[in-house]
């Protein structure tokens, strides 16, 4: 992530996802950031305290309804209603200190980076194709009750605590799955059932994984990386 302040004092993201030009929102000069967003033809917005974002709402998004990318991290948000004004949204990332979000209300959303909370809804009904889920750590240590986009092609799980894949739905369109820092993960035996068309599996920093069951006997798996 390469973010730098330009000569005009605005933070620009130089290597944004999907190549969508993105600008940081600075709370102290929010209106100027929005004016610059429109003047220069940006289609992405991000916010982080390190880059000057220090507010508890996203109300300014009502003035940037053509945004395709939104990413807010390390923040505490009390009101997310303005998100639903973004009918062109394709790429979305947000942390867990916020109200629940209905992901089915974004008709063009394709990629989501989400630190899931129980109040999130509409994920299974969403149009998401690439889903990154962070810090899923229920007391049950299983995936029971977790919503996954029904048409997901690429799934990334970071810091999840389940030891097996129990509770995950059957994902017929899933082609690529990654597990990162899932330190409890041991049993992948259900992988052929859960992801019958899987092509690629990546596992990092998850040393308990059995590298045999669910992997060598998967009928469509072509590439596996475990490190």
Contact 43, 67 (CB under 8 A): yes
User: What is the model's pLDDT at position 1?
Assistant: 67
Contact 20, 68 (CB under 8 A): yes
- Domain ranges in the chain are 1-91, 129-227
Find all residues with CB under 8 Å of 123, minimum gap 6, and list them: 103, 104, 114, 131, 147, 148, 149
User: What is the model's pLDDT at position 224?
Assistant: 96
Whole-number Å distance between alpha carbons of 95 and 80: 12
Whole-number Å distance between alpha carbons of 120 and 102: 6
DSSP H/E element including 179: strand 176-180
User: What is the model's pLDDT at position 109?
Assistant: 98
How much is the average pLDDT of 97-115? 97
Q: Which two tokens stand for residue 213?
A: 């069951």
How much is the average pLDDT of 95-106? 97
Whole-number Å distance between alpha carbons of 181 and 56: 30
Whole-number Å distance between alpha carbons of 134 and 1: 18
Alpha carbon of 131 to those of 36, 116, 122, 174, 221: distances in Å?
Answer: 30, 11, 13, 11, 20
Among 199, 165, 198, 196, smallest CA distance to 182 is for: 165
Contact 160, 186 (CB under 8 A): no
Contact 110, 91 (CB under 8 A): yes
User: What is the model's pLDDT at position 204?
Assistant: 97
User: What is the model's pLDDT at position 119?
Assistant: 95
Q: Look over the chain and give the mean of its residue pLDDT values, rounded to a whole number.
A: 96
- State what percent of residues in the chain have pLDDT above 90: 96
How much is the average pLDDT of 148-169? 97
């Amino acid at each position: 992530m390469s973010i730098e302040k330009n000569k005009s004092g605005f933070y620009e993201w130089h290597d944004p996802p999907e190549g969508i030009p993105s600008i940081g929102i600075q709370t102290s000069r929010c209106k100027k950031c929005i004016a610059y967003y429109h003047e220069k033809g940006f289609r992405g917005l991000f916010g982080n305290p390190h880059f000057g974002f220090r507010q508890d709402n996203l109300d300014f998004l009502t003035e940037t309804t053509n945004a395709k990318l939104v990413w807010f991290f390390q923040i505490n948000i009390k009101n997310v209603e303005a998100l639903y004004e973004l009918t062109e949204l394709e790429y979305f990332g947000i942390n867990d200190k916020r109200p629940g979000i209905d992901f089915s209300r974004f008709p063009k959303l394709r990629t989501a980076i989400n630190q899931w909370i129980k109040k999130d809804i509409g994920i299974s009904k969403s149009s998401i194709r690439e889903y990154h889920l962070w810090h899923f750590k229920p007391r049950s240590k299983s995936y029971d009750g977790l919503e996954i986009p029904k048409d997901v092609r690429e799934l990334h799980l970071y810091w999840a605590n389940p030891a097996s894949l129990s509770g995950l739905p059957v994902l017929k369109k899933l082609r690529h799955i990654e597990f990162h820092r899932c330190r409890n993960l041991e049993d992948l035996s259900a992988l052929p059932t859960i992801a019958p068309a899987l092509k690629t599996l990546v596992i990092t920093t998850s040393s308990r994984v059995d590298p045999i069951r669910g992997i060598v006997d998967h009928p469509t798996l072509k590439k596996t990386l475990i490190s």
